[in-house]
Chains A and B, each alone.
Chain A
Amino acid sequence: MLNELLLLWSQRPAISLAVWLVLLVTVLYLAREPAHQLLKSTGRAIYRFMRSAARAVAHLEQRALQRNREIVLAQGREATEKFIEREFVRINEIVARDLSHYPALHRELTDAIERLENDYQAATDAPPLPPEWLSVVQTISELPRQGDPVVSSILENIQDEVVSAHEETLKAYQKSSAERHRLLSALQPQWRALAGKLSKTKDVVAITQERADAVDKHMANYEAIRDNEDSIARALMASSMTQFFISGLVLLVAVMGGLINFQLIAMPMAEMVGGNSYTGGFKTSDIAALVIIMVEIAMGLFLLESLRITKLFPVIAHMDDKMRKRMMVITFSILFILAGIEASLAYMRDLLALDREALKQSLAGVSALNAEFRWIPSIGQMVMGFILPFALAFVAIPLESFIHASRTVLGVMTVAVLRTLIICLRLVGGLAHQLSKMLVFGYDMLITVPLSLEKLVRQGINARHESRVAGSAEQPVVLSAEPTDSALESQLADKPRASRRRTKTAAPDTDLAAQQN
């Protein structure tokens, strides 16, 4: 068919091809104006469509951003409320435990201080004064004796009396000093007890102050959240991302633990449900093992929920305390029983392994050897089978964090995807617009020959017109209703500009204008 068309004009392909080429170029030349318009309008339409789509996606992006912010702030508000509540509970506990005894303590302190004061008063140093007449007697005893033996004897007696009076006074003073020392030494334990009580009171006050500081800090955060501050939103977002990765990591560890658990019980499960039974293409024993692990995880979730450690199920959180405690006991019992089953399955696995090994040795003609310390891996497997369910139960904590953090992460990812989409839409729009321009130039390149001819003809017409204008410059002006060649030329030259102006006023597009500039 193609060959027939090719040889339509002549049996010689070159000639026929040349004819086709001439025809094609002619058609393209004649259709130049509508073809240009088609290309330009198509490019412009695609460009505008893409810009509109980008604007719509940008609107979506803004909504997603707003939504993310609301989620993050709501989560932050809830977390801060929990913190503040917890801090108040702690302060209440401190006050109830330590400061409730403060009146008694105050009385003890007052009593101790009063006792100290009394003892201190009693221990005041008051040296006893010598009798008033002693100075008179001493003056008389120091009178000159003048050789009179009677006077001398009297004076000596007086002096002896003075000395004995001094000694008595000294003894009395020493006695009172000893009493004061006794009182002062009795003060020491009282001071120590007082200091201990004051120190204890200081500690309690310091702890309360510390808790109050923490409450202040959380309150400041809470106020920032309430005021919708950017800094707190960014901080919460970063915290949420960190939580996402940390909880994801812990969940990964839990999954690995689950796999080990699965390997531990899948094989002995064949003893219970059959080794060659299949459900949906999977071994029933494998499914049973998986179900047991899943049930253990579910029980762990319910247990932690009942303990109010996690809050994944509002139904459990809203239960009254009695029902919640019952649920706690039931879930723990089921978990304990399942752990026991796992331990027994792990032991059975060990037995089966031994039996299988013995059979293999028997088939190979090797006498079975009694391995020493074979009980160590047996006990290890049993303990592992018992511990792993409880360890898996705690997966609820990272799971809750992961679920909460994933809301934020998914929001961030959505925003990233929307931003990428916006960029792509704008790129495609710009590319289409530029491509339409390139195609216009390409179109003109295909019809270069007729365009060149047209240009030559126009130049000839212009030259003739100019010579005619020059010749008629000396003749009077003739008004004509018919448009002249030069007028037509100027109209043709002005046409694209007018067209552009029309387009610009008809549909203002700032982006397009910016790109054209």
Chain B
Amino acid sequence: MKAIYVITLTLMLGACGQPQPGNTAVFLLVDTSGTYTEELNKAQAILNYLLATLDSGDSIAVARIDSGSFSEKDVIAKATFDQRPSMANNQKRVFKHHMDRFVETVNTGSAHTDITGAILQATEFLNETGAGQKYVLVFSDLAEDLQQGHIRNFPLELGGIHVVALNVTKLRSDNIDPRDYINRLGLWQKRVVEGGGDWRVVNDFDRLDTLIGLNTTDPL
């Protein structure tokens, strides 16, 4: 009888405790510098995959990487999906519409590429959401080209954030010396890991299902 009381009490206390946040927040950074704008349709496909995967209570944001990316002006769209699935579906439709319009309006690429600033912007957003799983998806060739006077050579703070580099295209110089490409990836990995984050590269879009650790089973 005593054991039953203990078990009941434990269950009640467990039920009253603050649950661990189970939602996910994703920040997609889209490189709009130079010729990388030609790759935007791929970014659109990734966003569609994310919208189909994320669920009620999850958060998503899309921002462009340009000459100075640490700015709210670069955020194309952001949303935290409603608790009700029907409302969440409507929000997803609106989000997709925003992204489609952005892709249509981008014509020329930016002169410089501020990836660090964009990651900082993403980190700020993700930490504010208080989500259980936080992802920064960097859709870029990872070749940072900072504007004169911009300071970005300081350590990043990416505790608990998964950084995934997507579609890291090879530059012309990489073909001449592939070590540049490897060094570029290594450098970013080092910065992310030293900042407490988790680093991954996904170039094959056929494996998008492994992009983020979400439960993709359809409840319907």
Contact = CB atoms under 8 A, between A and B. Distances in A.
A365 B19 CA distance: 37
A313 B151 CA distance: 77
B14 A280 contact: yes
B78 interface: no
Nearest to B47: A363
A279 interface: yes
A271 B17 contact: no
Contacts of B98: none
Interface in B120-170: none
B86 A281 contact: no
B19 A280 contact: yes
Contacts of B11: 280
Interface in A328-370: 351-353, 355-357, 359-360, 362-365
Contacts of A271: 84-86
Given A276-B22, A276-B56, A356 B14 contact: no
Nearest to A350: B220
Contacts of A131: none
Interface residues of B, number: 27
Given A270-B83, A352-B86, A359-B89, A279 B19 contact: yes
B190 to A, nearest CB: 35
Interface in B45-95: 48-49, 51-52, 55-58, 83-86, 88-89, 92-93
Given A270-B56, A356-B220, A278 B22 contact: yes
B88 A275 contact: yes
B213 interface: no
Interface string B7-44: 00001001111010011000000000000000000000
Label chain A's interface by main secondary structure: helix
Contacts of A353: 220
A281 B19 contact: yes
Given A356-B220, A363-B51, A363-B96, A280 B85 contact: no
A378 to B, nearest CB: 14
A201 interface: no
Contacts of A351: 86
Interface string A417-458: 000000000000000000000000000000000000000000
B118 to A, nearest CB: 24
Contacts of A278: 19, 22
Nearest to A359: B89
A274 B83 contact: yes
A277 B89 contact: no
A356 B88 CA distance: 10
Contact of B85 (A279, A356, A357, A362): A356
B97 to A, nearest CB: 10
A299 interface: no
Nearest to B48: A363
A267 interface: yes
Contacts, number: 70
Given A356-B220, A363-B51, A364-B48, A279 B15 contact: yes
A359 B93 contact: yes
Contacts of B16: 280
Contacts of A356: 85, 89, 220
A377 to B, nearest CB: 12
Given A270-B85, A281-B14, A359-B52, A275 B57 contact: yes
A275 B92 contact: no
Contacts of B89: 355-356, 359
Interface in A241-280: 267, 270-271, 274-280
Contacts of B55: 275-276
Contact of B83 (A267, A277, A281): A277
Nearest to A270: B85
Contacts of A362: 93, 96
Contacts of A267: 85, 219-220
Nearest to B16: A280
Contacts of B23: 276
A275 B19 contact: no
Contacts of B57: 274-276
B56 A274 contact: yes
Interface in A202-234: none
A327 to B, nearest CB: 29
A436 B23 CA distance: 66
Contacts of A279: 15, 19
A290 to B, nearest CB: 13
Interface string A273-306: 0111111110000000000000000000000000
A359 B22 CA distance: 23
A275 B19 CA distance: 14
Given A275-B57, A278-B19, A360 B85 contact: no
B52 A363 contact: yes
A287 to B, nearest CB: 9
A74 B96 CA distance: 71
Contacts of B85: 267, 270-271, 275, 352, 355-356
A276 B15 contact: no
A280 B15 contact: yes
A352 B220 contact: yes
A417 B11 CA distance: 31
A374 to B, nearest CB: 14
Contacts of B86: 271, 351-352, 355
Interface of A: 267, 270-271, 274-281, 351-353, 355-357, 359-360, 362-365
Given A277-B83, A281-B14, 15 more contacts: A267-B220, A270-B83, A270-B84, A271-B84, A271-B86, A274-B84, A275-B83, A275-B85, A276-B58, A276-B83, A278-B22, A279-B15, A280-B15, A280-B17, A364-B48
15 contacts: A267-B85, A267-B219, A270-B83, A274-B56, A276-B56, A276-B57, A276-B58, A278-B22, A279-B15, A280-B15, A352-B86, A352-B220, A356-B89, A359-B93, A365-B48
A-B pairs, 8 with minimum CB distance? A276-B57, A275-B56, A274-B83, A280-B15, A278-B19, A363-B48, A353-B220, A271-B84
